Amino acid sequence: MSKVRVRFAPSPTGGLHLGGVRTALYNYLFAKKHGGDFVLRVEDTDQTRFVEGAEDYIYDCLDWCRIPPDESPKHGGPFAPYRQSERKNSYRQFAEQLVRSGHAYYAFDTSEEIEALREKLKAEGNDNLQYGHQSRMRMRNSLTLSEEETQKLIAQNVPHVVRIRIEPGQSIHFRDLVKGDIEMSSDTVDDKVLLKADGMPTYHLAVVVDDHAMQITHSFRGEEWLPSAPVHILLYQYFGWKNEMPQWAHFPLILKPDGNGKLSKRDGERLGFPVFAMEWNDPKQGLVKGFKELGFLPEAFINMLAMLGWNDGTEKETFSLEELVNAFEIDRVHAHGAKFDFEKAKWFNHEWIKKLSAVELMPSLLPWFEKDGFEIFDMEQLEKVISLVKDRCTLLSDFIHQSAYFFRAPEVELALVQDKWEGKKKEFFEQLILAWKGSGQWDHDFLESSFKELANQMELKPGAVLAPFRVMLVGGKFGPGVFDIAIVIGKEETLSRIIKIIEQL
RNA sequence: GGCGCGUUGGUCAAGGGGUUAAGACGCCUCCCUUUCACGGAGGAAUCACGGGUUCGAAUCCCGUACGUGCUACCA
């Protein structure tokens, strides 16, 4: 195993949510840091929950986040196919290999029979209600049935599964790159189903067989998998692949902001923030907006996600993808979960908007302007607008409100101008129009000095006329310096906006 | 219930025997700005609890509590 190969295996059953993207990101960072491959395998065994279009959606999300896989069903690679359903054939053979070596067995129990077993065990006062070493000899399987009977049932196509046979009394020890040394007893590990009645493998069989086949060197996933790690480790042993077992890492969970539990897809709607990277058409919830649609930059989204469970030990908080690849160390990934904080997420976006130049922001911004029907004919002007306004935008959507008045005259609420209005002020603006109209200059110094001089001449405080001037141009009390705005929208437009208002007063 | 993992301000966190226990988000105050932001200065707020070990514990050990995950022919 000369090269690092990590694989990310989302189940295409529901949108790619925060936890999923973060797992992908950490896998990607680790792979790239070590010059390895980032493999995407699609786990589509659960037919009933498979959602149409989900697989493409995952590619789109990863693309938007700039973490595209090197190998995948879409991009191919040396160990294709990467879609679990297309690998179906090999799983049965591996399961049967285990049966022959005595590490697995056929089980013919129906779900009702298993349910009855649990009831019985419970009634007997057992703590352990699992189908395992304590109970398997009471069930209908190839351990209790004779060889003949077993073969007969199989020949008759009686539905059956293959279960792993785990012997009690063993200590399973392994080193987790995030959690450290972990030791578990095989006593509490149940005889998990490896091959389902429909012939498809469960996750347990599939990860082990596929990871081995694909020469995966590092197996990273969410913490929810930690309790089943012993099954996977035992499987590597039973297959005789112990020396090729990947290194494990289990990432902490992303928790709900208001406590109680891991962040779920429903929390987004309930708490008013996105949980998906991109818009997702959920069969149950309908169309759910993602971070992208809410106005997040991919740079900020990735940055925020990376910091939710890892930091480099310095005070640095804003990282580009490239910087993340360089700085990422898996042993600095936290062992405990983090509550998601939408305010902090927005802060990251704000930081990235400030950090990126107007030109860099342009591609992400253009669709927003187009959507709102801005007529942008002058890219140079647009660039000026963006630089003037970007520091006051937290989300991309804020740019609409913050820059609309550059492209079309605002709707001015007269009351805002009329506040402390007097005839002298009207006179001021009339004179201002004349002065500016007759001048050939239109730069910041000229505008500011002529404006202030005139105010002083008329014994008005500049501030007293600056405020209404702003409202005339902007439509509200916000935005960059008024003279900067006037320069960008131009002389003609500036004068016309003033005239339009003072005529109404 | 059983088993696993975890626990530093409201949140994200640095820190791994001696620190005035960093920093960030959010909140508050002030400065800058005749707007709103940006920026700058400052403030309130923390080592879950109980026992050990030690001259000394946020740091090591043990318990407890709490949180969280798993306990499916889901992943």
pLDDT digits (tens, 9 = 90+) for A5-52: 999 998 767 778 999 999 999 999 999 999 999 999 988 865 545 677
Count, residues in chain A: 505
Q: What is the pTM of this model?
A: 0.94
Average pLDDT of span A457-480? 94
Q: Which residues contact A89 (CB under 8 A, 6 or more apart)?
A: none
**C-alpha to C-alpha distance for A20 and A5, rounded to whole angstroms:** 18
- Give the whole-angstrom CA distance, residue A111 versus residue A119: 12
Q: Is A50 exposed, middle or buried (0-12, 13-18, 19+ CB in 10 A)?
A: middle
| Residue A265 known to be catalytic | yes
Which entry of A265, A355, A384, A426 is annotated as an active-site residue? A265
pLDDT for the residue A374: 83
Contacts 24+ apart (CB under 8 A), A374-383: A374/A404, A374/A407, A374/A408, A375/A407, A376/A407, A381/A406, A381/A488, A382/A358, A383/A358, A383/A359
- CA/C1' separation A9–B43 (Å): 48
Residue A484, CA distances (Å) to A12, A141, A287, A460, A490 in order: 50, 81, 41, 22, 10
Place of tokens 């169309």: A287
The answer to whether A437 CB sits below 7 Å from nucleic acid chain B is: no
Which nucleotide across the nucleic acid strands is nearest to A197, CA versus C1'?
Answer: B73
The string of pLDDT tens digits covering residues A183-242 is 999 999 999 999 999 999 999 999 999 999 999 999 999 999 999 999 999 999 999 999
Q: A321-379, pLDDT tens digit by residue?
A: 999 999 999 999 999 999 999 999 999 999 999 999 999 999 999 999 999 888 777 89
User: CA separation (Å) from A451 to A112, A323, A492?
Assistant: 87, 48, 16
Least trusted range by pLDDT, from A138-147, A287-296, A365-374, A487-496: A365-374
Query: Which sign, positive or negative, has the C-alpha torsion A108, A112, A115, A119?
Result: negative
Q: Which amino acid is at A131?
A: Y
Amino acid found at A257: P
- pLDDT band at A1; cut points 50, 70, 90: very low
Angle (CA) A279-A224-A321 rounded to 5° is 50
What integer pLDDT is reported at residue A377 of this predicted model?
Answer: 74
Q: Which residue is nearest to nucleotide B26 (CA to C1')?
A: A343
Listed as ranges, the nucleotides of chain B within 7 A of a protein C-beta are: 1-8, 10-15, 22-26, 33-39, 67-75
Q: What is the C-alpha to C-alpha distance for residues A479 and A477, in angstroms, rounded to an integer? A: 7
Question: What stretches of A142-297 show up as alpha helix (H) in DSSP?
Answer: 147-155, 203-213, 229-239, 267-271
Nearest to A251 by CA among A219, A228, A274: A219
